């Protein structure tokens, strides 16, 4: 499970640093082991959760591309992403009980999938 707020249409600096630190795993997989791109069937699944302040239609496009390539390095596929717009303040999500219910349900389903 990976989560990040949206900052300037990308993941937070902390999330990006984490992703960048896995560059050595990418190099091991594709340079040292010479694994072919796009051939492997990912063995594991990932859940991604993100929230952004604006309502932009393309708000999550860049983030999802980065997340998918990052997960590929870890032999994971994006099982589900929960992407929420117009959440900026610390209590904004409380105005959207459907978001909370969806996230709770996805977390429960994800936990069952990875058992």
* Residues 6-21 pLDDT 10s: 999 999 999 999 999 9
* Residues 29-57 pLDDT 10s: 889 988 887 677 788 999 999 999 999 99
Q: What does the alpha-carbon distance between residue 108 and residue 115 come to, in Å, rounded to a whole number?
A: 11
Q: Which domains can be identified in the chain, with CATH numbers?
A: 2-113 (3.40.50.360)
Q: What's the pTM value of the predicted model, to 2 decimals? A: 0.89
> For residue 36, what is the DSSP state?
P
Strands (E) in the chain, as ranges, are: 2-5, 44-51, 76-84
* Residues 67-103 pLDDT 10s: 999 999 899 999 999 999 999 998 999 999 999 999 9
């Amino acid at each position: 499970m990976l989560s990040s707020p949206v900052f300037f249409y990308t993941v937070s600096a902390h999330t990006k640093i984490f992703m960048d630190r896995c560059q050595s795993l990418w190099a091991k997989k594709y340079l040292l082991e010479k694994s072919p791109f796009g051939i492997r069937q990912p063995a594991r699944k990932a859940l991604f959760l993100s929230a952004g302040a604006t309502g932009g239609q393309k708000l999550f496009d860049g983030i999802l591309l980065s997340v998918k390539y990052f997960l590929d390095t870890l032999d994971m596929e994006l099982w589900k992403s929960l992407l929420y717009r117009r959440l900026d303040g610390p209590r904004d999500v409380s105005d959207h009980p459907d978001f909370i219910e969806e996230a709770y349900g996805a977390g429960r389903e994800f936990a069952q999938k990875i058992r």
